[in-house]
Amino acid sequence: MEVKEELIQLFEYDLWANLKWFPLCPEPPYRPVMEHVVRAQVIWLERCGGQRTFGAENPYDLLESVHLAWVAHVDESDLEETISYRNSLGVPYQETRLEICRHTLNHGTYHRGQLRMLAEMSGLTNWPETDYILYLRDPRGS
């Protein structure tokens, strides 16, 4: 599998996993975490020169719109291109588009782990299982 295909598959997994958590996310303490994940995906896409505005009004549509924008961006871009940007504090950085994609995907996984911890602390026992291997086994996933 080539790198672009692998990244697109990982963005598909990311959407699958986010949508599994989404039913819990209208309420605190889950909502701010999922909002952070989606905002970060938009910010990183903008830094890479990708789509800047999303007309989605509800969060579910926004998840899908941002996902489709990332898939298109990966498919159409030079992944080895170095991207120069400033972080939220104004500090300049440079990474390749490939490194930024990997960071964005890992960021979502990290925060879904945070969501699981919050669910456990809240006493929930039926949180969604979103391990990558489960995505590969899910006929609707891969």
User: What's the angle, vertex CA 18, arms to CA 25 and CA 58, rounded to 5?
Assistant: 60
Residue 130 in tokens: 């979103």
Tell me, rounded to whole angstroms, the distance of Cα 22 from its chain centroid: 13
If you search the block for the tokens 């006929």, which residue do you land on? Answer: 139
pLDDT at position 68 is 95
Q: Which fold has domain 3-137?
A: Four Helix Bundle (Hemerythrin (Met), subunit A) (1.20.120)
Q: pLDDT tens, position by position, for the chain (142 residues)?
A: 899 999 999 999 999 999 999 998 888 899 899 999 999 999 999 999 988 888 776 777 889 999 999 999 999 999 999 999 999 999 999 999 999 999 999 999 999 999 999 999 999 989 999 999 999 999 876 5
pLDDT at position 141 is 67
Element (H, E) at 42: helix 30-47
Segments making up each domain of the chain, as ranges = 3-137
Greatest Cα-to-Cα distance within the chain, rounded to the nearest angstrom: 45
Rounded CA-CA distance 12/113 in Å is 18
